[in-house]
Structure 1
């Protein structure tokens, strides 16, 4: 083992490096120097070769023998140790560069006000601090935040990293939201009011929606889409009395927004404390109990448009926009939701009834 370590422009000199020079200047053998020092040849050899650190006892002996202070030798050891840490950190940052390149750093500048920088190491440090991890590679560990289906695909790793980054961002933001203790019955009583908001504009329903969720113990967070995350929504319990419900706030048609919202509400009501639920546009990102997912889908579908009402309406490919609008008005819901249901059921093409659809774009800004 060498008593000098190098990585890039960082050089670390073990105290044994200096002891070797002293032995050479004294023109004695290591065995003799060990006797003069009052230690064994084996201990001295390990010290010279950087295999052992200077103990307080050895520092005392060297200080007496060489006429220096004990601190001189302790400082040499401390300097070496600090250099090793600096060296390891540089190596770690280099390894994390691969992960940083998979993350849209600008997103975190725009959304949570992380410092603007072009320096890769600064990006690593800023993201580690924000995600509360010691190393970005932790974002790829199977049991971190939420489990996904594993794959050897690079795209899969990119999706996993960014999905976890999006979820952690929602968790961080949720810490600034005050909530009452979780109350499932209260949330159920609020469901009709939440459904009635589908006919309102986001600027009208969002303030009240946040109040309702907070009153029920739900920290409701709206976040812009993060590139390669593919996450539309997520539910994560913080503890028995508090749960985070996060939603993607950009690029969603109104019908998809409301379906996703009620889908996530059902996951909240399922109250699976140890399960993180993800609604994703990417099939490989979904790794949740299929029964619970099906329940959430059916709940969102049936609560927005009651099966009996939909059956009575009996839509077909010949159903006009005006008929959809009248039906939506009758059941008190956004007509785009009815059109979206018909698209989902294959009654009309995906571009059908496009005039009835509405896209929500809700800008948000948070502090890191």
Structure 2
């Protein structure tokens, strides 16, 4: 699996042993796969040679990749190898094709962030690409929105489970039945994204989460928000950064409304807003809805009915050790 991951991410090559395995798994002779590797390397070399100095500066200044050197450590001697790492990792041949898939061009990807080019865009694109690589390795059924809708109540009920090692496995399996690969990738330095959703193949959708803040209400709201994008917006690519206010974006409003309805149905909103802000009342209401108390606390705080920082024992906060063990 690690060798396959390296091949997909551009960090590894199809050698004789890998060619034998791929041939047995998907067909084609080992010679065919080794020839494809040779042609890929030739095409990559041509792509590297065609990168202008201006475009190279953009790659080095803004777009990192695993094991790539930062701008200050790039010189004439390693320029080609550093460009090769970035082109291979993102699976593109030009800066333009990178921008079409990972950049802030809203014709392709909708970011809840500033539309100006910023330094964290490259970090976010690396996070996205890491998610795509992992998602491509996951086995799922064919993407089916109706099948996902059928599983929403069961997905929602998993919020009551406290440990990520228990609920993530169940959640991943439920989403895979609907053709959605759930991937957890911790955001690298500079990336402020909480979640993303997109089709990575015509028959496979991806939901990528970063566990930003490590709190249960934030995780589940992010998950429901991304599922809302998949169901409401034709699996159009989205990257969501909760730090940015995009109240004027109708798609974000719709995804937020979807996530809120997953936590508290419309016919229970009045009851939520009239709750007495104490632990026992909130616990009883959460039990009646079949969700965790943290989700109800989050909704009350969002509405200004409970001050931030109060009743925090109702909210679960996980450590990175717990998250990474589950992921």
CA distances 1:327-349 after superposition (whole Å, capped 9, x unpaired): 21222211111111011001122
Please give the secondary structure, in 2, of the residue aligned with 1:175: helix
Name the SS for the 1:174 alignment partner: helix
Q: Structure 2-normalised TM-score?
A: 0.69
Q: How many residues align?
A: 268
**Matched residue SS, 1:235:** strand
- Identify the residue that residue 158 of structure 1 maps to in structure 2: 119
Q: Which moved more, 1:227-236 or 1:189-198?
A: 227-236
> Matched residue of 2:120: which SS?
helix
Counterpart residue number, 1:174: 135
Aligned equivalents of 2:114 and 2:141: distance in 1?
40
Alignment pair present for 1:338 and 2:296: yes
Please list every run of 5 or more consecutive structure 2 residues that lacks an aligned counterpart in the other structure: 1-44
User: Counterpart of 1:195 in 2: which secondary structure?
Assistant: helix
Q: Is the contact between residue 328 and residue 334 of structure 1 (CA under 8 Å) also seen in structure 2?
A: yes
For 2:92 and 2:173, how far apart are their aligned partners in 1? Answer: 31
Matched, 1:237 2:195: no
Q: Stretches of 4+ moved more than 6 A in 1?
A: 149-152
Is 1:281 the equivalent of 2:239?
Answer: no
Cα distance, 1:149–1:198 mapped onto 2, change above 3 Å: closer
Structure 1, unmatched stretches of 5+, are 1-84
Change (3 A) 1:272 1:352: same
- Given that 1:223 and 1:246 are in contact with CA atoms closer than 8 Å, whether structure 2 keeps it comes out as yes
Structure of higher CA gyration radius: 1
Q: 1:355 aligns with which of 313, 322, 327?
A: 313
List per-residue Cα deviations over 1:76-133 (Å, max 9, x = no partner).
Answer: xxxxxxxxx99x849857863554454565xx46xxxx89xx9644544323211112
Partner of 2:40: none
Structure 1 counterpart of 2:260: 301
1:215 aligns with 2:204: no
Q: Distance in 2 between matches of 1:179 and 1:187?
A: 12
Cα RMSD for the two superposed structures: 3.5
Inter-partner Cα distance in structure 1 for 2:199 and 2:98:
19
- Normalized against structure 1, the TM-score is what? 0.62
Equivalent residues of 2:123, 2:191 under 8 A apart: yes
Q: Please tell me whether the aligned partners of residues 146 and 276 of structure 1 are also in contact (alpha carbons under 8 angstroms).
A: yes
The answer as to whether partners of 2:169 and 2:326 remain within 8 angstroms in 1 is no
Task: Give the deviation of 1:279 after TM superposition.
Answer: 1.4
Residues 275-301 of structure 1: CA deviation (Å, up to 9, x unaligned)? 2122113438x6x99333222111110
Q: Give the aligned partner of residue 226 of structure 1.
A: 188
Residues of 2 paired with 1:208 and 1:177: CA distance? 14
